[in-house]
C-alpha cells in the first residue's frame, strides 16, 4: 500500500505546483515583417523604427494567431501586431494588424493609434482599446472581424465617458447592442487589473489593488444598474502587486504577483492562492491568455538578459471566462459554447480605462510638482527621453519638464493598465 500512497501524494503535489510551461518562441529583439528591406531602412532612418523600443503589453489568441499590443513609443511603427502560432522560426517577425497602411498614417484617427487592452471573443472578433493620441485622437474601442480582417465597429468614447478631468475613479461600460458607452463611478476604486466571473455565473468583477496588495470585488448587478457608489468587498490579501488578471470558464482566477510569478485561485472556494509559474528575473509585466485549445500562453520579458522575451505554453484544459463550462455526469468539463452563440450579439463590454485615470492622477501630480518646483525656482533640466504613455500635455496648459515626469513615473508597471473584460448583460 505504501508505494501507492506515496504515488498519490506525489501526484497531488505535482498538480498543485507550477504548471509545465514549454517555450514556444524566444526573441532577443523583435523584428517587423517589413514589405521590403527598403521600407525597413527608411523607417530606421526616419526614426520610425527602433527595435529596442518594442515592448508587448497585452496578449490574445485566436485560431493560430497570436495578437500582441505594443506600448506606444517613438520607434514603434505599429502597436497592434500578430504572428502565427506555427511559425517556423523560433523568433518570428511581427505583422501589423490588420495591415501596414492601416497604421502608418500618424494623424488618421480612424486607424489604430495606440493599442492597449485586447481580447478575442468566442465568435471570432478582436476587441481592441485604443488610447488615441495626445494631439487629437480620442480614445476608442475597435472591433475587428477576424475572418475578414476588417473593422466591424469603431466606438469613440465621448468626453462624458472618458474625460480628462480629475474625477478619476470610474469604470467604463460599453453596450454592443446599444453601441453606447457610459461611466460607472465608484468610491475608492483604484485598480491595476480587472476580470469577470465566468459566463454562466456572472456575478462579480474582480479588481486588483493598485497600491494595496489585495483583491476585491464589485457586484455586476450594481454595475449594470449604473450604481453611483459601488461598494467594494475585499476578498483576499496577496503578497505582491498585480498587473494582469484573467479568469477561466470554471472560475479560476489567474493573476501575477510583483512581476515575478503567476498564481491561481479557485473563486468558488475561499481565498487561497497557488503558484503556477515563477520567473525570478522578470522585470516587466508577465502577459498571459488562453487559446481555445485549452492552453495557457505566457510571455515573460527581461531587460538585462537574453532572450529578451519568451513566449511559452502550458496545456491546462480550460478556456477563458467567455466560454460556458459545464460539468457533465462523469465530472469532466466540456465546452458548450458553440462558435455562433446568439447571446454574444448582446455581449457587453466593461472597459477599464485605468490608464486614463492613472494618466489623470499622474498629470495632477506632475502639475503639482511642476508648481512646487517653479515656486522654488529650481527646475532641473536633464535630457531624458520621456515615456510617451502618459499624455500630460493633453491636460495641462504647459507641458511639464520631462525629468519631473520621469520621476513621477518611477514604477510604470504598477500603475498602468488597460484591460478589456466582457459581460453578457
Ligand X SMILES: *[C@@H]1O[C@H](CO)[C@@H](O)[C@H](O)[C@H]1NC(C)=O
Residues contributing to the site for ligand X (CB under 6 A): 33, 87, 92-93, 95, 123-125, 145, 147-148, 187, 199-200, 214, 229, 231, 234-237, 324, 326, 337, 343
Q: How far is the CB of 48 from ligand X (least distance, A)?
A: 18
Instruction: Say whether 134 sits in a helix, a strand or coil.
Output: coil
Q: Output 236 or 240, the one with its CB closest to ligand X.
A: 236
Q: How far is the CB of 345 from ligand X (least distance, A)?
A: 9
Q: How far is the CB of 204 from ligand X (least distance, A)?
A: 14
Q: CA-to-CA distance for 255 and 245, rounded, in angstroms?
A: 4
Q: CA-to-CA distance for 260 and 339, rounded, in angstroms?
A: 35
Q: CA-to-CA distance for 133 and 121, rounded, in angstroms?
A: 26
Q: How far is the CB of 32 from ligand X (least distance, A)?
A: 9
Handedness of CA 108, 109, 110, 112 (dihedral sign): positive
Q: Output 165 or 326, the one with its CB closest to ligand X.
A: 326
Q: Output 47 or 331, the one with its CB closest to ligand X.
A: 331
Q: Output 8 or 345, the one with its CB closest to ligand X.
A: 345
Q: Output 126 or 298, the one with its CB closest to ligand X.
A: 126
Q: How far is the CB of 234 from ligand X (least distance, A)?
A: 4
- Phi first, then psi: give them for residue 44, nearest 5 degrees: -65, -45
Q: Output 39 or 145, the one with its CB closest to ligand X.
A: 145
Report residue 240 as a C-alpha cell.
505582491
Q: Output 219 or 388, the one with its CB closest to ligand X.
A: 219
Round to the nearest angstrom and report the end-to-end CA distance of the chain: 53
Residue 396, burial from CB neighbour count under 10 angstroms (0-12, 13-18, 19+):
middle
Preceding omega of 98 cis (within 30 degrees of 0): yes
Nearest of 237, 195, 243, 319 to residue 58 by alpha carbon: 243
Q: How far is the CB of 144 from ligand X (least distance, A)?
A: 9
Q: Quickly list DSSP for 16-85.
A: HS----EEEEEESS--B--S-HHHHHHHHHHTS--GGG--EEEEEEETTEEEEEE---TT-S-SEEEEET
Q: How far is the CB of 238 from ligand X (least distance, A)?
A: 9
Amino acid at each position: 500500500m505504501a508505494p501507492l500512497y506515496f504515488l498519490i501524494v506525489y501526484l497531488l503535489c505535482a498538480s498543485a505546483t507550477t504548471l509545465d510551461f514549454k517555450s514556444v518562441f524566444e526573441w532577443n529583439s523583435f523584428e517587423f515583417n517589413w514589405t521590403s528591406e527598403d521600407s525597413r531602412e527608411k523607417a530606421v532612418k526616419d526614426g520610425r523604427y527602433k527595435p529596442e523600443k518594442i515592448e508587448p503589453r497585452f496578449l490574445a489568441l485566436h485560431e493560430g494567431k497570436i495578437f500582441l499590443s505594443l506600448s506606444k513609443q517613438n520607434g514603434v511603427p505599429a502597436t497592434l501586431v500578430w504572428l502565427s502560432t506555427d511559425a517556423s522560426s523560433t523568433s518570428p517577425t511581427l505583422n501589423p494588424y490588420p495591415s501596414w497602411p492601416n497604421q502608418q498614417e500618424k494623424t488618421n484617427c480612424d486607424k489604430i493609434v495606440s493599442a492597449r487592452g485586447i481580447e478575442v471573443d468566442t465568435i471570432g472578433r478582436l476587441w481592441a482599446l485604443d488610447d488615441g493620441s495626445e494631439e487629437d485622437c480620442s480614445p476608442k474601442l475597435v472591433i475587428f472581424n477576424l475572418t475578414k480582417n476588417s473593422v466591424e465597429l469603431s466606438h469613440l468614447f465621448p468626453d462624458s465617458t472618458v474625460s480628462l478631468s480629475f474625477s478619476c475613479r470610474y469604470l467604463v461600460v460599453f453596450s454592443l447592442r446599444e453601441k453606447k458607452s457610459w461611466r460607472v463611478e465608484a468610491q475608492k476604486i483604484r485598480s491595476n487589473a480587472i476580470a469577470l466571473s465566468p459566463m454562466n455565473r456572472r456575478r462579480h468583477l474582480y479588481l486588483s489593488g493598485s497600491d494595496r496588495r489585495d483583491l476585491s470585488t464589485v457586484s455586476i448587478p450594481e454595475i449594470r444598474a449604473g450604481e453611483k457608489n459601488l461598494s467594494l468587498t475585499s476578498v483576499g490579501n496577496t503578497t505582491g502587486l498585480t498587473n494582469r488578471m484573467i479568469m477561466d470558464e470554471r472560475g479560476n482566477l489567474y493573476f501575477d504577483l510583483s512581476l515575478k510569478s503567476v498564481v491561481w485561485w479557485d473563486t468558488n472556494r475561499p481565498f487561497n492562492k497557488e503558484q503556477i509559474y515563477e520567473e525570478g528575473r522578470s522585470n516587466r509585466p508577465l502577459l498571459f491568455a488562453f487559446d481555445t485549445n485549452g492552453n495557457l500562453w505566457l510571455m515573460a520579458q527581461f531587460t538585462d538578459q537574453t532572450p529578451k522575451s519568451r513566449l511559452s505554453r502550458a496545456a491546462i484544459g480550460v478556456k477563458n471566462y467567455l466560454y460556458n463550462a459545464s460539468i457533465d455526469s462523469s465530472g469532466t468539463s466540456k465546452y458548450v459554447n458553440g462558435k455562433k452563440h446568439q447571446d454574444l450579439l448582446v455581449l457587453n463590454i466593461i472597459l477599464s480605462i485605468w490608464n486614463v485615470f492613472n494618466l489623470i492622477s499622474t498629470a495632477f501630480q506632475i502639475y503639482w510638482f511642476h508648481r512646487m518646483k517653479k515656486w522654488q525656482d529650481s527646475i532641473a533640466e536633464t535630457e531624458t527621453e520621456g515615456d510617451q504613455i502618459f499624455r500630460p500635455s493633453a491636460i495641462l496648459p504647459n507641458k511639464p519638464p520631462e525629468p519631473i515626469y520621469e520621476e513621477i513615473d518611477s514604477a510604470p508597471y504598477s500603475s498602468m493598465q488597460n484591460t478589456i473584460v466582457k459581460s453578457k448583460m
